Chain A
């Protein structure tokens, strides 16, 4: 809502600076979005009088003028023809900057020095006329600033009006707020209409057929209007608030709407059949050509204003062309009505047609302000368009909407706000808002009659808010809740979630956040079949784009996109993870399952090569190491891996993680075909784990077992076995042969190739033996070691190498 302060001063006197006013409005709930200073464009433009016009010595189309601007007489070269000596014109002095940005400088035109510029209306953004100089009224004083004499110096506030305040969509509503915050007095315009003897009701009639959608319809008839442009000052006001002047009658309806927030419509009375207005739902199949020249298809959800021949306006939204006011119009039927907000919103949204009128009706304007607005517009039509106002007002108002009475408990106000306001102060505030207040029961309760221009005030709490905002939020004492039952902290699962992130970060992974929505072909890119469970996803009804039209069922595509984006920017060493929800349709449930996942992707190496050595490239075992770190961090011991086949992964480099015998996730190197789809330059490893499984098995409380008191003995075993035998098989044999003294088995070498027969591999383990109650002897350790060797030879056909 744009508000011109020059105009606003018609309704309220205030004597504070613009800055103070802005501050006060902001702090009372009318947010000021911007402050503009029109007329600032006209700095250095003054009224000048042409003293002499002489031909230009070197150019037929130019003249040389002597122009008096009071302080001096300027020689100005000009190309216009419409002026004569003695005319007063706007003169842009040297240094002036025109609205189009052009700066006026001293210049020579065809050999004659010119010191300034005489301007046309269009050059000053004061009109459309570009045909010649703007000739000013002769009474103006030479040398005066044009902005001031034309009343253009103004301050325009752009206000944010919250949806609960339809009354502030009019200048009077704003003036009421200004009066409250400045202590000024609200001055509503006085209505004086000299009605002629003819009766309006003899000219026109109004019938409301659908009173549920149109509770009230007020009409006035004004005849003998002369359609023409509105006076300058009037146009200026409209322009200041962003309205385009059209003609005096239409301008008046707009002006009064801006003033009162009540939208009005002027019909050309002669074009209404039988002078008869019928307000009704449209029939299916009816159409109307609206003022924006669009043919609208109507249906029975839409309220229309009709005459006996059909629709003449879309109620509350826009008029129709058939009854439009034209330059030949002489008699006006002026509409000032009240429509049901929800219906206007529906019509406006449905047709994609939003007007200043619909914006106001859909918020709910004052049903009891219709007559005032109609009278005000009639008054202006008499004053500015020479109209004669017929006697009487046609007012169809089947069911009167009455002001609401609300009760306010004084102690409740203080309980909610934490204040200690006396009831008198509350009373004063409510009366300043224009409410009738009466005290009841020994001062502890107020009865408030809420005027119908405040439809937002329905309950006690609404009044408490009014008191709070007028009293001033910032005057209310700050306190903290005095609760006994408060206990802050993170839940166990939130602590585990935090720890999971810490573990990945410590392993060198960067946390990322990716969109929850992905492209519908996400599953194809990671080699999943359409029938794969992860391919079944939730799609959006109204996505912003195809690329973001379904919800993710796995975090992996998002992370692969991150890898790709970085690779495209020449970053090749990448290790990223994300913890976030995925969305999986759940049968028979209203909402999908939203398991929390944690996933990561890594490629390249752990940093760039360095002076002390090359970095190894990331492979399957880096992913495994990261997960082992995580499991150790979470104190999870009961886990194992199983070779797994997932379409997204390399079939030989993929493992499923089981915790407590339940699948907790998968990791491995991505399939070379996925690599090709994304165009990655080197192999990429990924993992994705269920956070819930990690949470349910995590042991955040460590078990302290003491530090070993006696030294251990480490012995090495080197062996050659068949290539197919896994490390796990060997380690298992070693561990199960002797379960008391053997404390640790560590693989420290793995070798195939030279000196090892084909189909075989060489492994070396370091075994640590320790007794908890004594220092172990070499003999004891050797004895166990020999047993182990024997079993390895027997069960796995291992060939033990003696080094």
Chain B
């Protein structure tokens, strides 16, 4: 057998062995048996020196071709085997994707806070700032400065929680913040004041001795009742949906005039009438009005120079309407199964 024939035989044997290799290990041993130090092809290459000079170039060329060819076949086969091996490995690693995920604990804001934040964001967008004031208040800020007559029933021990100190009470609304802010600031004033308020109401599904209000106040030159309407309409649409209608009904509050109770078209039935709105199609959501001139002059503003509007809404009421919570006491029980739902 000529050396060239021998090389051709090695070539064929090599290809077969490489193709037959069914694992990376077998492939490696095939490689060693042909290309290793003691491999068949290596042996031929080593013997090149023994050849005559005129034979050498042809055989050398052939031997190199065979080596390159075998190397390329090995590399191709290796890729195939590697990919098969990876395939098998991935198959073994399949998981039951229906097993529960690994969640990290996470809490939530209380529903009341969520609603207050929602309201706050709307009014920040309208150019308001957030003001706070004391929850233990003087009778002056809670009643007198808000134009409430000395004999007004709301002041009675039946309705308002008083401390042992004379003239000091738990604020019955967030309205005193209006007065405190106006005393310290010159107009224009655009604020909302969210916070706790207290009344001497025995707890039942719709009453709580503690609740939350958001008070709003705008005092500036040329503020009109139309501005109040427009502002409340923007608020109602953002808070309850773009399709909401708003209506104002005349009412009486000591510290605003003209005063209004404000309804939105029922969020459940869209105004057609349902159980939530007792069939009337409207839900009362807040009280509002133009700031009474007495309140303005009480803080040193000139009612002929500036005018203003104020509004106040119950946060729990809005939460109850929006989420159909049927008992106000649930907000303060803090049962985790309640908190988790919002």
**A and B associate in one complex:** yes
A residues with a Cβ closer than 8 A to B are 26-29, 31, 162-165, 341-342, 345-346, 349, 415-419, 459, 461-462, 464-465, 468-469, 473-474, 476-483, 485-491, 494, 498, 501, 504-517, 538-544, 548, 551, 562, 565-566, 569, 571, 574-577, 580-581, 583, 590-592, 594, 606-607, 610-612
Docked pose: A565 CA to B258 CA in angstroms: 46
Assess whether A541 is in contact with B162, with CB atoms less than 8 Å apart. Answer: yes
Assess whether B164 is in contact with A480, with CB atoms less than 8 Å apart. Answer: no
Within 8 Å of chain A (Cβ to Cβ): is B298? no
Docked pose: A480 CA to B196 CA in angstroms: 28
Choose from A468, A508, A515 the contact partner of B209 (Cβ within 8 Å). Answer: A515
Give a binary string over B97-139; 1 marks a CB under 8 Å from any A CB, 0 the rest: 0011011111111101100010010011111111000111110
- Known contacts A465-B258, A539-B164, A574-B336; A591/B137 CB under 8 A: yes
Choose from A162, A459, A485 the contact partner of B188 (Cβ within 8 Å). Answer: A485
Assess whether B249 is in contact with A487, with CB atoms less than 8 Å apart. Answer: no
Within 8 Å of chain A (Cβ to Cβ): is B40? no
Interchain Cβ contacts under 8 Å between A and B, 13 examples: A27-B250, A346-B151, A415-B307, A461-B292, A468-B258, A473-B249, A479-B227, A510-B336, A511-B339, A516-B170, A538-B164, A540-B162, A565-B335
Contacts of B230 in A (CB 8 A): 478-480
Within the complex, the shortest CB–CB distance from A387 to chain B, in Å, comes to: 38
Within the complex, the shortest CB–CB distance from A677 to chain B, in Å, comes to: 20
Assess whether B250 is in contact with A487, with CB atoms less than 8 Å apart. Answer: no
Give a binary string over B317-336; 1 marks a CB under 8 Å from any A CB, 0 the rest: 00000000000000111111
Give a binary string over B222-237; 1 marks a CB under 8 Å from any A CB, 0 the rest: 1111110111011000
Docked pose: A501 CA to B229 CA in angstroms: 34
Within 8 Å of chain A (Cβ to Cβ): is B22? no
Assess whether B105 is in contact with A607, with CB atoms less than 8 Å apart. Answer: yes
Within the complex, the shortest CB–CB distance from A386 to chain B, in Å, comes to: 42
B residues with a Cβ closer than 8 A to A are 99-100, 102-110, 112-113, 117, 120, 123-130, 134-138, 151, 156-157, 161-165, 168, 170, 188, 190, 196, 198, 200-203, 209-210, 218, 220, 222-227, 229-231, 233-234, 247-252, 257-261, 290, 292-293, 307, 331-337, 339-340
Docked pose: A509 CA to B104 CA in angstroms: 12
Assess whether B224 is in contact with A504, with CB atoms less than 8 Å apart. Answer: no
- Known contacts A164-B252, A539-B164, A540-B164; A592/B229 CB under 8 A: no
Choose from B103, B107, B257 the contact partner of A575 (Cβ within 8 Å). Answer: B107
Docked pose: A379 CA to B307 CA in angstroms: 51
Within the complex, the shortest CB–CB distance from B245 to chain A, in Å, comes to: 10
Contacts of A581 in B (CB 8 A): 135, 196
- Known contacts A490-B124, A540-B164; A594/B135 CB under 8 A: yes
Docked pose: A498 CA to B113 CA in angstroms: 10
Docked pose: A591 CA to B180 CA in angstroms: 14
A462 — nearest CB in chain B belongs to which residue?
B257
Choose from A31, A508, A517 the contact partner of B104 (Cβ within 8 Å). Answer: A508
Assess whether B109 is in contact with A505, with CB atoms less than 8 Å apart. Answer: yes
A569 — nearest CB in chain B belongs to which residue?
B335
Assess whether B290 is in contact with A416, with CB atoms less than 8 Å apart. Answer: yes
Assess whether A459 is in contact with B107, with CB atoms less than 8 Å apart. Answer: no
Choose from B218, B290, B332 the contact partner of A514 (Cβ within 8 Å). Answer: B332
Contacts of B203 in A (CB 8 A): 544
Docked pose: A607 CA to B340 CA in angstroms: 13
Assess whether A512 is in contact with B339, with CB atoms less than 8 Å apart. Answer: yes
A165 — nearest CB in chain B belongs to which residue?
B252
A161 — nearest CB in chain B belongs to which residue?
B252
Assess whether B252 is in contact with A464, with CB atoms less than 8 Å apart. Answer: no
A539 — nearest CB in chain B belongs to which residue?
B164
Within the complex, the shortest CB–CB distance from B251 to chain A, in Å, comes to: 6
- Known contacts A479-B226, A501-B113; A489/B124 CB under 8 A: yes
- Known contacts A480-B231, A512-B339, A516-B210; A538/B220 CB under 8 A: no
Assess whether B229 is in contact with A476, with CB atoms less than 8 Å apart. Answer: yes
Docked pose: A345 CA to B135 CA in angstroms: 29
Contacts of A461 in B (CB 8 A): 257, 290, 292-293
Choose from B99, B227, B257, B292 the contact partner of A480 (Cβ within 8 Å). Answer: B227
Docked pose: A479 CA to B232 CA in angstroms: 10
A605 — nearest CB in chain B belongs to which residue?
B105
Assess whether A473 is in contact with B107, with CB atoms less than 8 Å apart. Answer: no
Contacts of A543 in B (CB 8 A): 161
B247 — nearest CB in chain A belongs to which residue?
A474
Within the complex, the shortest CB–CB distance from A645 to chain B, in Å, comes to: 30
Assess whether B157 is in contact with A541, with CB atoms less than 8 Å apart. Answer: yes
Contacts of A539 in B (CB 8 A): 163-164
Assess whether A566 is in contact with B209, with CB atoms less than 8 Å apart. Answer: no
Docked pose: A543 CA to B137 CA in angstroms: 16
Docked pose: A498 CA to B114 CA in angstroms: 11
Assess whether A508 is in contact with B107, with CB atoms less than 8 Å apart. Answer: yes
Assess whether B258 is in contact with A464, with CB atoms less than 8 Å apart. Answer: yes
Contacts of B336 in A (CB 8 A): 510, 566, 571, 574, 576
